[in-house]
Amino acid sequence: MSLKLSKRSEIPPFIVMEVMRAASERGRENKAVYHLEVGQPGTTAPRGVIEAAKAALESDKIGYTVAMGIPELREGIAGHYKRVYDVAVDPERILVTTGSSAGFLVSFLSAFDPGDRVALAAPGYPCYRHILNVLGVEPVCLLSGPEDRYQPTPALLEQAMKEGPIDGLIVASPSNPSGTMLGTEEMKALADFCAKHDIRLISDEIYQGISYGHPSETMLSHDPNCVVINSFSKYFSMTGWRLGWMVLPEDMMRAGECLAQNLFISAPTLSQIAAVAAFDCYDELEANVARYAENRDVLLNELPGIGFDKLAPSDGAFYIYADVGHMTNDSQEFCSLILRETGVAVTPGLDFDPDRGNRTMRFSFAASTDDVVGAVKALKAWKR
């Protein structure tokens, strides 16, 4: 018996999750593991969020919510934009999602048809490409490098447009995996270019709030009609709560709502109720960022002496992207070797750049400081 399988399911694995699985298997063997592979905060959800969840479990039936999200949370998110960016956002434009992953799916389905071409920087978050491919939308990788600070530019877009029209652009600031951020002028240049050429602009801002000497800036400051995707996973330290949000332009609001209704019904209700309290926890959240900064300093100070001396600027997020072409031409095997021989779990660059990622790798410093210091010691002892 041979049953049909969808060709749309034939996508590459999310390699960082494969690394995480291998690291977990090593841990089950009671061997030392230092988790520098996954972009997951080593901190818990804010105390106020946990207390709000406990209270809700005892007093609320935790049923469905409306697809757009509970009003209290949408108003809290709008208040966050006013407080942090001094940008007024109508709560009616906010769609609460099941993590940022649902936001990407809803935005791509709302904005693009099969056969459309959507540009994004390489290196970049691999699930952009994978989701677009599943939907029959062509991802157009802009091969950015150190000279572009691993970000898209109007020049790279113009080059891509020689091969065909570009219907959308995905930008991320801070970026995964490079940690680089777009400055005001770079953001404005991309927003103006997209407006001029009728390109739908989607801004991934899930690492906003985690930066080191570079103020966070939302693309809404330059294009109020862009699509913004954000999440409670990173700055708010709530990965497993599976909660994010979108700021939708008016022409996508109804489509976004209907897709959310049909695909997800609503984001997790308990998470929504609890997340309202997150906006009273800025002091705790800023303390988390201070710890990331400490971890970042440890790696930036120590990695060059171990041989990892070609590093991207780590302006924000909790990643350091390294060019390891002088050490290997097979980053996947190299990272596997490092895990086997040192217990340090790191992510090969192939996850982020299928064309050149065989010569790059990513370190995450979202884990505890003890993990980061332990990883450095293990790498020093292994140094080749």
Give me the pLDDT at residue 64, please. 95
Residue 55 placed within a domain: no
Based on the fold, state whether residues 111 and 216 are members of the same structural domain: yes
| Distance of alpha carbon 264 from alpha carbon 258, whole angstroms | 10
For the segment 31-44, the average pLDDT, to the nearest whole number, is 89
**Same domain as 161, residue 288:** no
- Judged against a pLDDT cut of 80, whether residue 246 lies above it is answered with yes
Do residues 288 and 254 both lie within one domain?
Answer: no
Residue that is last in its domain, among 280, 309, 328: 280
Inside any domain, residue 293? yes
Closest CA to 341 of 295, 298, 383: 383
pLDDT value of residue 384: 61
Number of domains comprising the chain = 2
User: Is 1 a member of any domain?
Assistant: no
At 281-331, the pLDDT tens digits run 999 999 999 999 999 999 999 999 999 999 999 999 999 999 999 999 999
Q: What's the pLDDT tens digit per position in 173-198?
A: 999 999 999 999 999 999 999 999 99
Q: Does residue 167 lie within any of the structural domains?
A: yes
pLDDT at residue 77, rounded to an integer: 98
Same domain, 269 and 291: no
C-alpha to C-alpha distance for 371 and 65, rounded to whole angstroms: 39
Res 1: pLDDT: 67
Mean pLDDT of the chain: 94
Question: Does 123 fall in a domain?
Answer: yes
- How far, in Å, CA of 17 to CA of 125, rounded? 13
Same domain, 244 and 101: yes
Residue 54 lies in a domain: no
Q: Is residue 57 part of a domain?
A: no
- pLDDT tens-digit series, residues 106-117: 999 999 999 999
Q: pTM score, two decimals? A: 0.94
Q: Is 49 helix (H, G, I), strand (E, B) or coil?
A: helix
**First-residue to last-residue Cα distance in the chain:** 52
Task: Render pLDDT for 19-33 as a digit per residue (tens, 0 to 9).
Answer: 878 777 887 888 888
- Residue 245's pLDDT band (boundaries 50, 70, 90)? very high
The residue among 240, 262, 280 that closes a domain is: 280
Cα 115 to Cα 370: distance, rounded to the nearest angstrom: 48
CB of 59 closer than 8 Å to CB of 258: no
CA 49 to chain centre: 22
- Give me the CATH number covering residue 19: 3.40.640.10
Q: Does 221 lie in the same domain as 135?
A: yes
Looking at 280, 313, 330, the residue that finishes a domain is 280
Q: Which domain holds residue 80?
A: 66-280
Is 49 a member of any domain? no
Q: Are residues 236 and 143 in the same domain?
A: yes
Point out the least confidently predicted range of 39-43, 68-72, 136-140: 39-43
